[in-house]
Amino acid sequence: GAGVSQTPSNKVTEKGKYVELRCDPISGHTALYWYRQSLGQGPEFLIYFQGTGAADDSGLPNDRFFAVRPEGSVSTLKIQRTERGDSAVYLCASSLNGPTSGAETQYFGPGTRLLVL
């Protein structure tokens, strides 16, 4: 079956612009996670959705970052007034059930490589 997909695969933007990154989770997965991976680092947790609601957004670095999942499936990560430091690979993952149900396995998408010039 189809895995997690993310679009675009690459995004180049200018400092100060607004960007949207999209994630399509595995069908039927109720939990969705966003991570940011900088060069030479491991994935850094940003936000976790259970259904339509953000169950934990404690990893969002500041109020320029926002994410939505209006119908409990596709999610969009939105970054306002982008800065050069936002350049990274943004990873999305989904799991069948959320972390409150146990040690569920996350399935990752290939990521969106964001470059802010």
Partner 1 sequence: AQSVAQPEDQVNVAEGNPLTVKCTYSVSGNPYLFWYVQYPNRGLQFLLKYITGDNLVKGSYGFEAEFNKSQTSFHLKKPSALVSDSALYFCAVRDMGTSGTYKYIFGTGTRLKVLA
For partner 1, give the closer residue by CB, 66 or 108: 108
Contact track, partner 1, 40-79, x by CB under 8 A: xxxxxx--x------xx-xx--------------------
> How many residues bind to partner 1 according to rule CB under 8 A?
29
Closest CA to 36 of 55, 16, 64: 64
How far is the C-alpha of 37 from the C-alpha of 22, rounded, in Å? 16
Q: Which residues does 102 contact at the CB level (< 8 Å), separation at least 6?
A: none
In DSSP terms, 13 is beta-bridged to 116
How far is the C-alpha of 29 from the C-alpha of 40, rounded, in Å? 29
For partner 1, give the closer residue by CB, 43 or 86: 43
- Position among 30, 82, 87, 106 found at the interface with partner 1 (CB under 8 A): 106
Q: Give the binding site for partner 1 (CB under 8 A).
A: 3-4, 33, 35, 40-45, 48, 55-56, 58-59, 91, 93, 98-100, 102-103, 105-111
